[in-house]
Structure 1
Amino acid sequence: MSGPLSRYRLAIIVALLLLAGIIVNAGLYYQQGSQDIRHGIVEQGLPLTGDTIFSEIDKSILRPLSVASLMANDTFLQDWLRDGERGPDRVARYLAAINGRYGITGSFLVSENSRRYYYAGGVL
């Protein structure tokens, strides 16, 4: 073996072994990193997303439903409707206060007896 590569045979073998080690090491780091990222998303990212979705549902659906339930059981409204709906400005002030207190932009009341629609600006 007296070819031109025989003098560098040991250096070529060492270089190939180093290259193979670097490639294997990079593959292992990539695999571990992707598992860590996936684990982080499942353990931290998804629960936060679920909390965000719930808070949006709470703001857009549950809060108005609870305010509607509160208004349905409010003795002022029940008495006002029972007494013939006199003084629609009182209900308009009440609805404006509900809007301000609970951060709702469109509270309203529809009377079954008179078929009137009351809102914070008055009567339609």
Structure 2
Amino acid sequence: MRLHRCANVGCRELIPLKHNYCQKHYDERLGNYINQRAESKAKASLTLRGQRNQAEHNREYDQTRRKELHNGFYQDKRWSKVSEYVKARDGYVDAIEGKAWDKGDLIADHIIPRRLLSGMEQYNTDNLWLLTKS
């Protein structure tokens, strides 16, 4: 098998011809790329154009991939009452960390996913727990 040196300056490791970098430098470059991309996205979200692009992306995502959110279930008055009941029942304490939170920081979440439940089973409070939005 033919080999050549890693393209990173100063690295003398031999690698197959189909690769440009050794595994160590490939992982390093990929990590840098991911970090730079995240920083760029964060900076872009501070501009009006970036905010508009993010809003368009979220709208497209909601309409194509998150259809369960847009059938009106979570905007239903019955769900609001069930959600408030679960928050009061659990004392506004997060189920994962056990910390108390404000009313707006918590969401009632289905333990068994809602898409697997039928009709009134989706409102069963035994299948709900509290999580933070993050």
TM-score interval, smaller chain: under 0.3
Find the structure with the greater CA-based Rg: 1
TM-score by structure 1 length?
0.25
TM-score by structure 2 length?
0.23
Higher strand share: 2
